[in-house]
Amino acid sequence: MSIIVENITKTYGNQRALDAISFTINSGEIVGFLGPNGAGKSTMMKIITSYIIQTEGVVHVNGHNVAEKPMLVKQSVGYLPEHNPLYLDMYVKEYIQFSASVHNITKNRIDEVIEQVGLTLEAHKKIGQLSKGYRQRVGLAVALLHDPEVLVLDEPTTGLDPNQLVEIRSLIKEIGKTKTVLFSTHIMQEVEAVCDRVIIIDKGKIVIDKKLNELKSDKEQIIEVEFDLRVEEQLLQQLPKLLKAINIHDNIWQLTFSTSKDMRPAIFDFAHDNGLKLLQSQLKNEDLESLFRSLTK
């Protein structure tokens, strides 16, 4: 197991930023750490990366106690802080070389990382000339330099435009193929796009810790169907587990079922039994965004 967090509390004065939080992250997982502003995400990440010390509880990262072995933790973790300080007057490659000098890193490795994060064409530009998306790549490059097993990325996509967002997300996904990744965000779709698992925190407490597919199956199932003929709502009531039927237009219906079992075969049978043809049936994505909002109100 890569990250083991046991009963972590962090207080600032008399404010509890984290309140008895526990979770474990297995190696190879990409976990989204999701929560509204002020939930305690950055505080948790700073503790995991040995930048601040918890008030209570224990964290192990790759077997190292974060409070007792900060150097070993920093060697095995790559960290992209939320407000990543960059030297805007330095050239991209110069800055990465400068960061590399802290560790024992070869020149080859520097070029490798520059290529991995897609900075080859920007390597000789000043950081100040780069867009926010490219600056994030510089931060990622530095986090990856020492080839850590675990990556902790604090809101790596905040402030990026839609194209940059997609690029950084796919970069994280690519990196996640060989590493354990914990990244924070306040956007649910981001978790859906990148993660295997989500931990939602609110006001210093965990409100959900689940694999994404389990989270989805907890909820109602929505299927959009189109028949070849007009159907009365009355007739649709024959469908088992049907909660709601909304006529979108003409012969297209949005059907909500109170089950996680795929109901498309049942709809097919229904159409057949009633002399209808099913022109399309499409499983709609669950609205995880609304779940997130209801949990963190």
In this chain, which stretch among 35-43, 165-173, 188-196, 289-297 interacts with ligand ADP, using CB under 6 A?
A: 35-43
- The CA distances from residue 193 to 24, 150, 170, 241, in Å, are 21, 20, 9, 29
Sheet holding 278-283, edge to edge: 242-249, 252-257, 221-227, 278-283
Helix ranges restricted to H, 106-186: 107-116, 132-144, 162-175
Question: For ligand ADP, which is the closer residue by CB, 21 or 231?
Answer: 21
| Least CB distance to ligand ADP at residue 161 (A) | 22
* 42 contributes a contact to Mg ion by CB under 5 A: yes
| Least CB distance to ligand ADP at residue 52 (A) | 8
Strand partners, 65: 60
Binding ligand ADP (rule: CB under 6 A), the pick from 1, 12, 98, 272 is 12
| Least CB distance to ligand ADP at residue 188 (A) | 15
Q: Whose CA is closest to 19, among 2, 37, 35, 43?
A: 43
Q: Which partner in Mg ion, ligand ADP, none is near 281 (CB below 5 to 8 A by kind)?
A: none
SS3 category, 56: strand
* 84 contributes a contact to Mg ion by CB under 5 A: no
Question: For Mg ion, which is the closer residue by CB, 53 or 229?
Answer: 53
Question: For ligand ADP, which is the closer residue by CB, 17 or 168?
Answer: 17
In this chain, which stretch among 26-34, 37-45, 127-135, 262-270 interacts with Mg ion, using CB under 5 A?
A: 37-45
What are the respective helix, strand and coil percentages of the chain, to the nearest 5? 35, 30, 35
* Chain residue whose CB lies nearest Mg ion: 42
Q: Whose CA is closest to 53, among 12, 2, 4, 102?
A: 12
How far apart are alpha carbons 134 and 118 in whole angstroms? 9
How far apart are alpha carbons 70 and 51 in whole angstroms? 8
Residue pair 126/89 in contact (Cβ under 8 Å)? The answer is yes
Taking residues 36 to 75 in sequence order and writing x for each that binds ligand ADP by CB under 6 A, - otherwise, the string is -xxxxxxx--------------------------------
Q: For residue 289, what are its two tokens?
A: 């965004």
Taking residues 230 to 269 in sequence order and writing x for each that binds Mg ion by CB under 5 A, - otherwise, the string is ----------------------------------------
The footprint of ligand ADP on residues 125-154 (CB under 6 A) is: none
Binding site for ligand ADP (CB under 6 A): 12, 17, 35, 37-43
Which positions touch Mg ion (CB under 5 A)? 41-42, 82
